[in-house]
Amino acid sequence: MKRKIKGPSVYSTKLRWHIIISYCLAAIISIGLIYGTIYFQYKSSISEQATARLVSVVMEHKGTIENFLFELANTMRMVTLLEDFDNLKNQHILEQVYSTLEREYDVSFEDLGVLNLEGDHLAYVGPFDLMDRNYSQAGWFQDVLEKDLVISNVFLGFRQLPHFIIAVKQTSGNESWILRATVNAEKFASLVEHVRFGKTGFAYIVSRDGYYQTRSRDGHMVMDQVMPGHLDLEVFEGVRFWETDQDQRSFFRAKTWIKDNEWLLVVEQDVDDIYGELYHLRQNAVIFFGLGGSLLLILCLLSMKFLLRRVKLIDAEKELLDEQLIQSHKLASIGQLSAGIAHEINNPLAIIGEEAGWMQDILKRENMQGIPEHDELTDSLREISVQAGRCRKITHKLLSFSRKMDATLRKVDLNQLIDEVAALREKEATLYSIKFIRDYDETLPMILTDSSQVRQVLFNLINNAIDAIDKNGEIHLSTRKNKDSSVAITIRDTGTGIHQENLTRIFDPFFTTKEPGKGTGLGLSICHGIIEKLGGTIFVASKVGEGTTFTIRLPLEIGSD
């Protein structure tokens, strides 16, 4: 009978948890390393792309703004060169010039004026009443006297509205004069503020003295002063960029100086906006790794279940081997005991048999023929002789079981030997509808063993198989070569099977499951003893209602195992 695998023991429970923890740790560490590596590499790549984009935006804005200012300044210079001083002082001509500039530059110019070196207007065109204003104290006016061309910062001036001035100093003959134009600060700011990138990208300009020249991203208006510590106004070359936290916001900032280091162009974009794609990827990665981890856990549990089952099978086989080893030692002890008993009983049996024979001879004499109980005495003495003979056979079997017999070794073809033994009973078995099925390993090598003793074992097992089937069944005979230096013979019947409680006693002397008088209970004990003496092993597996399987393992040569 196949052994059932026992339930989880403390050992298997510890092993299960050990396997689970090991698998889970391996899975978590592996997934964590993969996830961390991919995440941080992708984040680094996103960060590099973001900073490169910010730098590109800064440089692009710098070029656009400086080109815009250069174009306005150059236009002003061209006006002073194309129109002489006398024409520009003429109000009508100045209005024509202003109209042309306004049309060409889409109302970027708010007004236009010609001033003498004392800061007084000689002519003025614009919506404000500034003709009588004197600009000698204005900063841009002081600068243009020295530099000939000035682009001022945004300031309020007499009109009390944000604007900046482009002023050009020109000299005609002995006269010097200044042409100035006011640039619409809102128009200029749109050039900077209306450019967007991402969801939160924003650009603005701050003057070197710390005033916003355009609206800032956080709500500061033009001419507001930069709060201390919010922006470093140190002059530098090129572009600087970094990630920073300010006012509970995390953002990337890039900046560069423009207009001869008078204005600082700043570009900012939120970190969440930059890493939005990364966060989306991270969310997908968490789902992906979650599913992967679950799948890995399921595989872990299935593998653990498989391993535990294998461990239990190995434990069961080990337990069976231990039981068989104990059984072997027990049989050896019983054999020695049986040999002693058989030896002691043989002598009295011999005397009983001889005495019974002598008394039978006496009863045959003529003078004894007249005894009234002559026939009864003759029958009794014959029965005594028969039973004494039977006892001698039993003791002979006991001695055969226990005696160390000298084996006659020769090369044996096991397939042929099994066929010979099966043929002795196959014809009789056919009468009871018992079919012999052979499955021999044709490559089975010949083994060096005692053929007569192996024949005795095979004969005994086949007889037992026929007895177990009774009628209508099959006996499977098979051989195979094991991976080690041994061969295996299997005799399997489809009989009634053996109860589990009898399996451990099946090789005990005098133990039998047959009906009284149909067996001595020594056959399997003798088989066990023969196989062990030939250096092999014999196993039995059985299940009630399905049959019994005997497996004999023999070495290729005695003593080679």
3-class SS letters over 271-288: HHHHCHHHHHHHHHHHHH
Residue bearing tokens 């068989």: 324
**Nearest-CA neighbor of 502 among 477, 516, 526, 521?**
521
pLDDT for position 395: 77
CA-CA distance, 210 to 396, in Å (whole number)? 123
pLDDT given for residue 6 in this prediction: 47
Q: pTM of the predicted model, to two decimals?
A: 0.50
**Looking at residue 3, what is its pLDDT?**
44
Predicted confidence at residue 516, as pLDDT, reads 60
Please tell me the distance from the alpha carbon of residue 53 to that of residue 538, in angstroms, as a whole number: 82
Q: What ranges make up the beta strands (E) of 202-314?
A: 202-207, 240-246, 249-258, 263-270
Exposure string for 169-205, b = 16+ CB within 10 A, e = fewer: bbeeeeeebbbbbbbbbebbbebbbeeebeebbbbbb
The phi, psi pair for 180, rounded to 5°, reads -125, 150
Residue 104: predicted pLDDT: 82
pLDDT for 192 equals 80
Give the torsion through C-alpha atoms of 343, 344, 345, 348, to 10 deg.
120
**What pLDDT does 92 receive?**
92
How many Å apart are CA 73 and CA 63, to the nearest integer? 15
Identify the pLDDT of residue 9.
52
- pLDDT tens string, the chain, 561 residues long: the values are 444 444 445 556 676 677 777 777 777 787 778 878 887 887 787 778 777 877 888 888 888 888 888 988 999 999 998 888 888 889 999 999 999 888 887 757 889 999 999 999 999 999 998 899 999 999 999 999 998 899 999 998 888 888 999 999 998 878 899 999 998 888 888 878 776 677 888 889 999 999 999 988 778 888 899 988 888 889 999 888 888 887 778 888 889 999 888 999 998 888 888 777 767 777 787 787 788 778 877 887 787 778 878 878 888 887 777 776 676 666 667 666 777 777 778 888 888 888 888 888 888 888 878 778 888 888 888 888 888 888 877 777 666 655 555 557 889 999 999 998 898 888 888 889 999 999 999 999 999 998 888 988 998 899 889 988 988 999 999 999 988 889 999 999 999 888 888 887 788 776 776 666 566 677 888 888 888 888 899 988 988 889 999 999 999 887 654
